[in-house]
Structure 1
Amino acid sequence: MQKCDNPKCPICYPNWKEEEATAKKRAEDDNQDCIDCWRFFQKQAETIVAVGDPVERNRRINAAYAQMWLDDHRFQWAGLAAFASKQVGCGLLNAAELISKSNRERNAYQQWHQTSSPLERLSPYTSPRMSVPNQASGEGARKVYEMLAKGNISLFLDVWPLHQFYKKFGLQRFERCLPERALLSENVVWPIADSVRFGVPTPEIQRGFKAIDAGNIASGVEQLARHEQLNILQPAMYNDPAFALLVRANQFAWALHIPTGSAREIQLALVNQCTVTGANAKSEIFSKQPLANLADPNQRMAFVQRAAERFDDLLRDPIEKYMVENSIFLIAHPR
């Protein structure tokens, strides 16, 4: 007898209730399995960054990105991220130096103020030097230090587990399980919860890993770069008015050679050092224009895209690729 079109017909499908319950249970188990796998990789990422010092944490993040590329060259975004995160570490060190200088001046002045006589305090020439510019630089550096550290850890906690899940289970399961990741939001370390929701399955993530799976590495890098810059770092860092003002002030002072003592060139050095110079230097600078704005997503994405293309060109060069790989190896194994 030919079965009817009604799947709940008790005559044509006498066991439809049992079969529906079994299918529902299978779907629930599959969803839970997705959640458990995401939780596993998320906890691994949290273990890597489980250190209080942002500079040391940055070294661990750099090493994890670098090792991810060394293990699988399809993850070219991770190789570029190793250099970019290393550059964040350079920014942290520079900010820490400015903060330390400001603190030393302030502490020396406070100690003098507590131990000096009332007569000595009447004369400004007898007090230790505590310049207004250095104090202002110190306060700005504290903000930069805080934002760089927050962006560095948050981006890693977002993107590293994505790569690990895809590498372990492949594209089909990755796409099927991606929406379930957001269900972990209440039980993960996520420092930017006030500005970015955890685990959002953005189109850039899906397009990025689909491109990687198809062998289109450059497109994968572009999509993941758009995800990191526009979906994570823009709302978490660059939309902060104070931070945006500080990066614009830095660019203005550096481009016009204003002797602030704190302004630095914004560049991505594709080596394991902080900076490189020379006509053939393996680096990409943001801009030489004083009014260029790193907080503007379009200007920043253009910079990131140039850096990604330069990185790709170096990896295709028969000689330069070995030097770049050696730099990534050194980042993966810091002394």
Structure 2
Amino acid sequence: MQKCDNPRCPVCYPNWKEEEAEEAKRAEDNKHDCIDCWRFYQKQAEAIVAVDDPIARNRRINAAYAQLWLDDHRFQWAGLAAFASKQVGCGLLNAADMIVKSASDSAANLRKVTSVGPAAWMMGYGAQSAAGAATAEGAGKAYQMLAKGNTSLFLDVWPLHMFYRKFGLQRFKRCLQERQALRGAVVWPIADRVLFAETKPEVLRAFSAIDSGDISTGVEQLAQHEQLNILQPAMYNDPAFALLMRANQFAWALHIPTGSAREIQLAFANECTVTGANARNERFSKEPLANLADGAQRMAFVLRAAERFDQLLRDPLQKYDVESSLFLIAHPR
């Protein structure tokens, strides 16, 4: 007998209630399984960043990104992220040096007050002291924001790679939205600015491209996600941090001797900077008014860096230097 179109017909489908109940249970079990798997990788990521010192934490993040690429060369974004995160670590070191220097200057100012008296000190050293205090405040802000952005991005993107590598694209697609169930139960330093695990189209497009072998699109989509969905609201929309980045660019481009300004670049090496005519690096801009906080300008820089990284990996000689640098980043001393 041909069955009717009504799936709940008691004649054609006498066991429809039991079958519906079983299907509902399977769906619920699958949902809980997705959440448990996300929780597993999220807790692994939290263990990696569970270091109080932001500089030591940054080295662990760099190593985890580099290891992702060393284990699976399809994860080219992770290799690029290892170098970019290493560059963030260089910024942390520079900011920390400025904080220490400012503290030393403050101690020196106190000695000057004692030796010459408050009135003479105000006449001769007050402006210098105020400038030093401003430098310390700016360095402290940069240190805080760089550390927070570095940690948050890792907590977002590293588990995505690990889940995809373990379970493949189909389960990744099926489970992606269930990651939101972890909100409020995981470490997420930017909860006041960015929702944890908010479903963004760039994420699915990125891993679909990786799965099909289109590595460059995967890198581009993940770059869009990290820069515009995570870092833009978490860091660059902060007016004080954006102003600091503009001041740094202005001072560096015009060679203003601040003692703290640094060129914004990405060096494809385990060192902070590289020099020479054939240096493996990508510069942000030489223009004094270039604005790193502007998403379009920053994305142009990131995509140039991504293209340069891809070229280096295809070069018959330089690819070994890049891989050696990533190995050193993955295994810090």
TM-score in terms of structure 1 length: 0.96
Tell me how far apart the structure 1 counterparts of residues 103 and 46 of structure 2 sit (CA, whole Å). 32
Identity of paired residues, percent?
73
Where does residue 5 of structure 1 map in the other structure? 5
1:247-262 alignment runs, 5 A limit: 247-262=245-260
Residue 25 of structure 1 pairs with residue 20 of structure 2: no
Counterpart of 2:229, as a letter, is N
SS where residue 266 of structure 2 aligns? strand
Checking the alignment, whether the CA contact within 8 Å between 1:105 and 1:128 is kept in structure 2 is no
Tell me how far apart the structure 2 counterparts of residues 198 and 67 of structure 1 sit (CA, whole Å). 24
Where does residue 264 of structure 1 map in the other structure? 262
1:67-146 alignment runs, 5 A limit: 67-110=67-110, 116=114, 120-124=117-121, 131-146=129-144
Tell me how far apart the structure 2 counterparts of residues 159 and 299 of structure 1 sit (CA, whole Å). 22
Checking the alignment, whether the CA contact within 8 Å between 2:35 and 2:182 is kept in structure 1 is yes
Tell me how far apart the structure 2 counterparts of residues 62 and 140 of structure 1 sit (CA, whole Å). 25
Where does residue 332 of structure 1 map in the other structure? 330
Cα deviation digits, residues 78-136 of structure 1 (max 9, x gap): 000000000000000000000111112223434665xx48x833432999896332221
In structure 2, relative to structure 1, the CA distance for the partners of 1:308 and 1:51 (3 Å cut) is: same
SS where residue 187 of structure 1 aligns? coil
Which stretches in structure 1 are left out of the alignment for 5+ residues? none
What CA RMSD, in Å, does the superposition of the two structures yield over aligned residues?
Answer: 1.6
Tell me how far apart the structure 2 counterparts of residues 312 and 41 of structure 1 sit (CA, whole Å). 28
Residue 157 of structure 1 pairs with residue 155 of structure 2: yes
Tell me how far apart the structure 1 counterparts of residues 292 and 88 of structure 2 sit (CA, whole Å). 14
Checking the alignment, whether the CA contact within 8 Å between 2:41 and 2:163 is kept in structure 1 is yes
Count of aligned pairs: 332
SS where residue 289 of structure 1 aligns? coil
TM-score in terms of structure 2 length: 0.96
Cα deviation digits, residues 38-58 of structure 1 (max 9, x gap): 000000000000000000000
Residue 226 of structure 1 pairs with residue 216 of structure 2: no
Moved more, 195-204 or 148-157: 195-204
Cα deviation digits, residues 163-209 of structure 1 (max 9, x gap): 00000000000010000001101100000000100011211000000
Checking the alignment, whether the CA contact within 8 Å between 1:108 and 1:128 is kept in structure 2 is no
Checking the alignment, whether the CA contact within 8 Å between 1:112 and 1:127 is kept in structure 2 is no
Which stretches in structure 2 are left out of the alignment for 5+ residues? none
Tell me how far apart the structure 2 counterparts of residues 125 and 176 of structure 1 sit (CA, whole Å). 67
Moved more, 162-171 or 248-257: 248-257
In structure 2, relative to structure 1, the CA distance for the partners of 1:134 and 1:120 (3 Å cut) is: closer
Tell me how far apart the structure 2 counterparts of residues 207 and 91 of structure 1 sit (CA, whole Å). 31
Cα deviation digits, residues 197-223 of structure 1 (max 9, x gap): 001121100000000000111110000
In structure 2, relative to structure 1, the CA distance for the partners of 1:325 and 1:8 (3 Å cut) is: same
Checking the alignment, whether the CA contact within 8 Å between 2:112 and 2:121 is kept in structure 1 is no
Checking the alignment, whether the CA contact within 8 Å between 2:106 and 2:129 is kept in structure 1 is no
Tell me how far apart the structure 1 counterparts of residues 54 and 112 of structure 2 sit (CA, whole Å). 32
Residue 273 of structure 1 pairs with residue 289 of structure 2: no
Tell me how far apart the structure 2 counterparts of residues 329 and 313 of structure 1 sit (CA, whole Å). 19
Cα deviation digits, residues 47-79 of structure 1 (max 9, x gap): 000000000000000000001100110000000
Where does residue 59 of structure 1 map in the other structure? 59
Counterpart of 2:199, as a letter, is P
